[in-house]
A = this chain, B = another copy of it.
Amino acid sequence: MDAVVLLSGGLDSYTAAAIAKSEGLTLSALTINYGQRHVRELNAARAVAATLGVRRHVEIDIDLSKFGGSALTSDVEVPKDRPCDALQIPVTYVPARNTIFLSLALGWAEVLGAGQIVIGVNALDYSGYPDCRPEFIRAFEDLAALATRVGVQGQRIQVATPLIALTKAQIIQRGVALGLDYGLTHSCYDPLPDGRPCRHCDSCVIRSHGFDAAGLRDPLLS
């Protein structure tokens, strides 16, 4: 079966894609450049797509910074060294991001005749984003059934979330067991001028805790 996988260049989407591939799905990768600061994510997405051997890789540019409202797409400072249990929604939240991403994946899935969309959302070690929760994903599947020609014809496009119930440590352990090279990925919200991760934004902190808890070393920091 064909699947469209949302591939950001980060650790989670790489692992989600690899799990889908290990289950026999044929992958087409979709990367959205939404005007985020860290363009290095895009190079990481290309490297990850290549190593996964995806059938197609489409990159879509969409300048969400025109809306403002997020530290990832505007001049708001990315917060550093937030406590890990701070579960309020942070300024790095991009309004409606996963809704927009899934909508684009849905459009492409319909064209390709793909039966699945794969997204690396995670409801445990996440940053408190509302659009990473299982109830959001189920609501999107319901919408997709009404939104599309294939839905009207009775075919349901599933949204697969292989990571949704895993801790970051479990995600990393699963990926390492699949032989993934996390040195290809990029997670930092606010990298240093030379491209290395800042080690202090939410994304770096969560990644670092994940590698620590998995008892593994992050190849990006070696």
Within 8 Å CB of A106, what residues of B? 95-96, 99
* Binary interface encoding of chain A residues 47-63 relative to chain B, with 1 for a CB under 8 A from any of its CBs, else 0: 00000000000101111
Determine if A143 and B146 form an interchain contact, defined as CB atoms under 8 angstroms apart: no
A contacts with B, residue count (CB < 8 A): 43
**How far is it, in angstroms, between the C-alpha of A139 and the C-alpha of B146 when the chains are bound?**
8
* Binary interface encoding of chain A residues 90-125 relative to chain B, with 1 for a CB under 8 A from any of its CBs, else 0: 000111111110111011101100000000000000
Within 8 Å CB of A97, what residues of B? 107
Determine if A130 and B152 form an interchain contact, defined as CB atoms under 8 angstroms apart: yes
Which residues of A pack against B, CB within 8 Å?
Answer: 58, 60-64, 66-69, 89, 93-100, 102-104, 106-108, 110-111, 130-131, 133, 135-136, 139-140, 142-144, 146-149, 151-152
